[in-house]
Chains A and B, each alone.
Chain A
Amino acid sequence: MSRIKALLIAAIVLLLGRGRPRRERSEARIVPPGTPDPRAETLVLVLFAAVAVCGIAFIVVYAIDGIGHQTQLLGLALGLAFALLAVAFIVIARRLVVTEELAEPYPAEHPNEVETIEEILDESESRFTRRRLVKLAGTGALGTLGLAALTPALSLGPALDTDALTKTPWRRGRRLVDDSGKPIAATSIEAEAFYTAYPEGADRELIGSPIVVVRIGPGDEGVVAYSKICTHAGCAIALYRKPTFPDTQPGPALVCPCHYSSFDPADNGKVIFGPAGRALPRLPLEVDVDGNLRAAGNFSGPVGPSWSGVRQREARS
């Protein structure tokens, strides 16, 4: 019992006592003394204790599954802990340390050293008779070596094979399927709606794959299909603008949600608004014996965003 008492007294003294008296120094102080501020000190102690409480709160919230809104409470606990810590240190800065004003010289230049270095470098070259030539040759040697070292970077991708950009999974006879993989009958394409389609059996995650199908007129010829990938910056053209009352409303358009490039489905995908510079590539369609839609060839131009020379190229299967 007395041992516990002794321990308790020791703990209290440790926490509340002033600590060992500082050694007296005979010389002048470096850091000026400043007046004590016990109230600020107490405030800091309270704040540190509060930080600890927040830390414990964090652990408790984490540990107890039943507590809902975990993210908010954990964030609050941690955030509050840091906020209180910040306040504590600001109190220390304002009230518990001295704010001195010191002056220091800005660094000067070192003209002598610079000159000495120049001299060392210069004098070291005295055994060369054709300095410029040797330096030039050295630069050429290292330069070409550097170039060689960089060359494997070309292996990162088929950088020289721009044909890869023109390839699409569409070819003559390829059947269109909807997003559940079923073929699409030409008669099922109704005016005023729009449909996303993919090439049967192909990877849907290629930019040459998704197409948007709309009807611009009656009959099989009235069904048109375009690449769903915007020729501006590659987003999927997921909007279809359909006027309910053409007298007062803008005409039909396939619109891209990224920068609002708009294409006219009734005019070969011509750009009617927005930053896209190239018409939307059109996929020619045909109807097979079952009445389902199939591609009648490849797109009218390369799909996706443009690159230098894109208009000179064709979409290939």
Chain B
Amino acid sequence: MIRRIVRFVDQRAGAAPFVRKALRYVFPDHWSFLLGEVALYCFILLVATGIYLTLFFEDSRSQTIYHGSYKPLQGEPMSRAYESVLHLSLDVKAGLLIRQTHHWAANVFLAAIVLHVLRVFFTGAFRKPRDLTYLVGLAMLFTAFVEGYLGYSLVDDLLSGMGLAIGYSVALSVPVIGANLGLLLWGGPFPGSPSFFPRMYIAHVLILPLIITALLTLHLVLVASRHHTQFRESPKTTEKQVVGVPTYPGQAPRSLGLMFAVFAVLFLLGGLVQINPIWLWGPYHVGEATNGAQPDWYLGWLIGALRLVPAFDLTVGGYTLVPNPFWGGALFPVVILLVLALWPWAERKVTGDDGLHNLLERPRDNAWRTSLGAAFLTWIFLGFMSGSADRVTVWLGLDYAAQIWAYRVLVWVLPVVVFFVVRRACRELVAWERLKSE
């Protein structure tokens, strides 16, 4: 039966040689190589659940009065977008399950990408010939940030509406051209023209998913064409030869098992753990706000940065040149993207190592990269921490203003400390190993 299908495909597409190669393609074996796959499976589920959601969502910010089944919002003016999501969540069977699974999948998607990027970075997998693969991956990461932001902003609830106002202010804060940029994107002053929501919608369901899919395809093709990197484990694993498990029969059931595990985790979360209960927040109105509003976790670094920057607009002779949100909201992420994107090139320049690398380094084997990377990560992570300072005030009673001042100092001092500590740790570990083997 299988034989008949294969012959059919080979006669019409000449695919047999390719399939034969693919079946025995070699996968080096390490659990951390599976993290990228986790992200892939999250994306698949995002598209699948997302398609379902598009069948119910109305991408319009025009206002209507609610007369639906949820009593606390009776008579409340709200956008049709919000009302459609309310209806899906509260009145459509399995609607809330699919919606919550979709939102959890988005959060986990980004967590998986972050873990994957960390693995790639700290093992040096981004080195030639995989620097292009790495750049494609970074492009996907930053596209995913925007995609997620647009996704939860489409719902037009109180929290995400506040988030859109902040996004608008960051656009406006770009020096010289900010006002034009903001007016262009929103179609007018905030909250924007009636076509702003349809635009966000099309970007979220069509344009960005297409971009991510194209990048993803390119990414996977590049990975497969160069073959996966490997750790140096035996005399057989060299720069010239990759050793591992073939796709079929060895790797396939493992990948399938992982895929089903990802789906399991996401559907279990989607059914059992509440996420974004928008009926509790209420619809967004320009004149309303709530305490404790936060963006989804993967933008937490940005809210921290926005809160940390001291109170000044950069003025030059009275002319407002750089409004405050620019530093934390625009410059900070751009600097991070640039540092990450230029890293392979910078490493080549500094070390003078221009060769191809197929073997990975353990983090401890490259103390400079690991410690610089750890310091850089600390800098970003402190953004997350300072964005959570209000939580710490609520739980531990620590004064909020005092925390902000502490973070303003820590954000420059702690990365330096981490750099030295991690570098020392790497060197000690390597020395200890050398001693052990003697």
CB pair A258–B183 under 8 Å, yes or no, is no
Contact A234 B323, CB 8 Å, known A162-B183, A228-B287, A278-B313: no
CB pair A103–B179 under 8 Å, yes or no, is no
A138 interface residue (CB < 8 Å to B): no
- Chain B residues lying within 8 Å of A62, measured Cβ to Cβ, are 93-94
B315 interface residue (CB < 8 Å to A): yes
Least distance between B192 CB and chain A CB atoms (Å): 8
- Chain A residues lying within 8 Å of B437, measured Cβ to Cβ, are none
CA distance A161 to B182 in the complex (A): 11
| Residue on B nearest A83 in the bound complex, by CB | B264
CB pair A164–B323 under 8 Å, yes or no, is no
Least distance between B434 CB and chain A CB atoms (Å): 28
- Chain B residues lying within 8 Å of A38, measured Cβ to Cβ, are none
State which of A124-132, A286-294, A300-308 sits at the interface with chain B.
Answer: A300-308
CA distance A308 to B315 in the complex (A): 9
| Residue on A nearest B321 in the bound complex, by CB | A308
Scoring A62, A106, A206, A235 by chain B CB atoms within 10 A of each residue's CB, the highest score goes to: A106
CB pair A74–B94 under 8 Å, yes or no, is yes
How does the 8 Å CB contact mask read for B169-206 relative to A, with 1 for contact and 0 for none?
A: 11011011111111111111111010000010000000
State which of B140-148, B255-263, B410-418, B421-429 sits at the interface with chain A.
Answer: B255-263
- Chain A residues lying within 8 Å of B245, measured Cβ to Cβ, are 99-102
Tally of contacts, chain A with chain B, CB under 8 A: 299
How does the 8 Å CB contact mask read for A74-116 relative to B, with 1 for contact and 0 for none?
A: 1110111111011111101100111111111111010000000
| Residue on B nearest A160 in the bound complex, by CB | B180
Contact of B272 among A31, A72, A90, A99 (CB under 8 A): A72
CB pair A165–B183 under 8 Å, yes or no, is yes
- On chain A, the number of residues with a Cβ less than 8 Å from chain B's Cβ atoms is 88
Least distance between B166 CB and chain A CB atoms (Å): 4
How does the 8 Å CB contact mask read for B221-237 relative to A, with 1 for contact and 0 for none?
A: 00001110000000010
State which of A2-10, A150-158, A183-191, A241-249 sits at the interface with chain B.
Answer: A150-158
A312 interface residue (CB < 8 Å to B): yes
- Chain A residues lying within 8 Å of B87, measured Cβ to Cβ, are none
State which of B246-254, B346-354, B375-383 sits at the interface with chain A.
Answer: B246-254
CA distance A62 to B93 in the complex (A): 7
CB pair A164–B249 under 8 Å, yes or no, is no
- Chain A residues lying within 8 Å of B307, measured Cβ to Cβ, are 259-260, 274-275
CA distance A89 to B199 in the complex (A): 42
Contact A82 B261, CB 8 Å, known A100-B245, A257-B289: yes
Within 8 A of B (CB), among A17-76: 31, 62, 70-76
A209 interface residue (CB < 8 Å to B): yes
CB pair B178–A71 under 8 Å, yes or no, is no
CB pair A105–B182 under 8 Å, yes or no, is no
- Chain B residues lying within 8 Å of A273, measured Cβ to Cβ, are 311, 401
CA distance A157 to B188 in the complex (A): 6
Least distance between A95 CB and chain B CB atoms (Å): 10
CA distance A35 to B103 in the complex (A): 44
Contact A106 B325, CB 8 Å, known A205-B286, A206-B286: no
| Residue on A nearest B182 in the bound complex, by CB | A307
B108 interface residue (CB < 8 Å to A): no
- On chain B, the number of residues with a Cβ less than 8 Å from chain A's Cβ atoms is 103
- Chain B residues lying within 8 Å of A278, measured Cβ to Cβ, are 313, 320, 323
B6 interface residue (CB < 8 Å to A): no
CB pair A83–B166 under 8 Å, yes or no, is no
B160 interface residue (CB < 8 Å to A): no
B11 interface residue (CB < 8 Å to A): no
CA distance A66 to B47 in the complex (A): 31
- Chain A residues lying within 8 Å of B286, measured Cβ to Cβ, are 204-207, 209-210, 229, 236
CA distance A205 to B169 in the complex (A): 17
CA distance A275 to B166 in the complex (A): 13
CB pair B254–A89 under 8 Å, yes or no, is yes
A225 interface residue (CB < 8 Å to B): no
CB pair A310–B320 under 8 Å, yes or no, is yes
- Chain A residues lying within 8 Å of B243, measured Cβ to Cβ, are 101-103
CB pair A305–B323 under 8 Å, yes or no, is yes
Contact A70 B400, CB 8 Å, known A259-B307, A307-B172: no
A171 interface residue (CB < 8 Å to B): no
How does the 8 Å CB contact mask read for B294-337 relative to A, with 1 for contact and 0 for none?
A: 00000000010011111111010011111111001100000000
| Residue on B nearest A161 in the bound complex, by CB | B183
Given contacts A75-B268, A207-B190, A307-B323, 20 further A-B contacts (CB under 8 A): A76-B272, A79-B267, A79-B272, A87-B257, A102-B244, A102-B245, A106-B242, A158-B183, A159-B181, A159-B184, A162-B179, A206-B191, A207-B191, A238-B289, A238-B291, A260-B307, A274-B307, A275-B309, A306-B323, A307-B182
Binding site for B on A (CB under 8 A): 31, 62, 70-76, 78-83, 85-90, 92-93, 96-107, 109, 153-154, 156-162, 164-165, 167, 196, 198, 204-207, 209-210, 228-229, 232-239, 256-261, 271, 273-278, 304-312
Q: What 4 A-B pairs have minimum CB-CB distances, sorted nearest first?
A: A75-B271, A210-B287, A277-B313, A79-B268
A-B contact pairs, 10 of them (CB 8 A): A72-B272, A85-B260, A89-B260, A100-B245, A100-B246, A101-B243, A233-B329, A278-B320, A305-B325, A311-B319
